[in-house]
């Protein structure tokens, strides 16, 4: 039995989840009787993983816990330039253009990792960071303390099955993670579900079909590492299927940046 973590306003709850609403460990409203109450632990993290994880997710959980210390450095100096054929500084600038205008909103950072995007958010936002890896989240918590958000919370959870209420956020981000999520279609569907009407899902992800240099090596790499080789068209179709209007924002080597808005 797990808890949902939401803001103080009334939010709808996934019907198959017994939960109470929390914010920073305080009960705001009890929707059911005899729920188990899970508060943030000593590191400020709420453990809300589903009872069962797929074998693929268990492997990724083990892998990224081990890589936590070198993760940020590896992303900037190896993954983006060598694997994604993308410029790390340009990646940062594009994300900043997409994120910095968001103010006084409830934002969800899915697969937030060590919190690399946290410095780009305005501190007037109510920030929720979610990741499969507890070790990664510990680093994200440290970044958030320096940022001094209006409110922030961190959840160890699965992007394929968010234990969060419907229409909970005005803005959802997924930065360089979609291609690593085993059932990426579910991750997009969940992002759409937790978005409020009119809310925006922003995502950066490597895709085939936009860079010949990237395409030449990615198929071999992705097959070996169990990563997706989807196209922009694949993503657009999944967005459309889940009520999101897709719009390409920019590209950077083999990385696609897009926005997808939920109907108002």
pLDDT digit string (tens) for 210-246? 999 999 999 889 988 889 999 999 999 999 999 999 9
| Mean pLDDT across the chain | 84
**Average of pLDDT values for 64-93?**
87
pLDDT for 53 equals: 72
Joined together, the tokens standing for residue 190 give 């969940």
| pLDDT tens figures, 83-142 | 999 999 999 999 999 999 999 999 999 999 999 999 999 999 999 999 999 999 999 999
> Are residues 4 and 155 in contact, defined by beta-carbon separation less than 8 angstroms?
no
pLDDT for 56 equals: 77
End-to-end CA distance of the chain: 33
Per mean pLDDT, which range of 19-33, 37-51, 123-137, 196-210 is the poorest? Answer: 19-33
The C-alpha angle 71, 184, 171, rounded to 5 degrees, equals 75
Is the pTM value of this prediction over 0.75?
yes
Cα–Cα distance measured from residue 4 to residue 125, given in angstroms and rounded to the nearest whole number: 19
CATH class of the structural domain 42-262:
alpha beta
38-63 residues labelled b (16+ CB within 10 A) or e (exposed): bebeeebbbebbeeebeeebeebbee
pLDDT > 70? residue 262 = yes
pLDDT for 141 equals: 95
Q: What is the sign, positive or negative, of the torsion defined by CA atoms of 165, 171, 177, 183?
A: positive
C-beta neighbour count of 264 within 10 angstroms: 7
């Amino acid at each position: 039995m797990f808890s949902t973590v939401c803001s103080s306003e009334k939010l709808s709850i996934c019907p198959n989840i017994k939960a109470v609403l929390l914010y920073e460990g305080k009960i705001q409203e009890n929707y059911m009787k005899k729920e188990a109450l899970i508060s943030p632990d000593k590191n400020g993290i709420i453990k809300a993983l589903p009872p069962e994880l797929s074998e693929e997710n268990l492997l990724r959980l083990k892998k990224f816990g081990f890589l936590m210390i070198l993760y940020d450095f590896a992303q900037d100096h190896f993954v983006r330039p060598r694997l994604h054929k993308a410029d790390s500084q340009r990646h940062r600038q594009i994300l900043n253009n997409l994120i910095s205008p968001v103010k006084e909103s409830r934002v969800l950072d899915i697969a937030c990792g060590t919190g690399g995007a946290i410095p780009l958010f305005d501190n007037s936002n109510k920030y929720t960071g979610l990741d499969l890896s507890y070790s990664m989240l510990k680093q994200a918590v440290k970044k958030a303390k320096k940022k001094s958000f209006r409110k922030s919370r961190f959840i160890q959870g699965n992007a394929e099955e968010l234990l969060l209420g419907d229409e909970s956020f005005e803005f959802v981000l997924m930065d360089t993670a979609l291609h690593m999520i085993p059932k990426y279609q579910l991750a997009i569907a969940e992002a759409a579900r937790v978005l409020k009407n009119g809310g925006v899902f922003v995502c950066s992800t490597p895709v085939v079909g936009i860079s010949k240099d990237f395409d030449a090596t990615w198929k071999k790499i992705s097959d070996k590492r169990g990563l997706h080789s989807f196209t922009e068209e694949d993503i657009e179709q999944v967005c459309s299927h889940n009520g999101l209007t897709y719009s390409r924002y920019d590209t950077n080597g083999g990385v696609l940046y897009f926005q997808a808005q939920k109907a108002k």
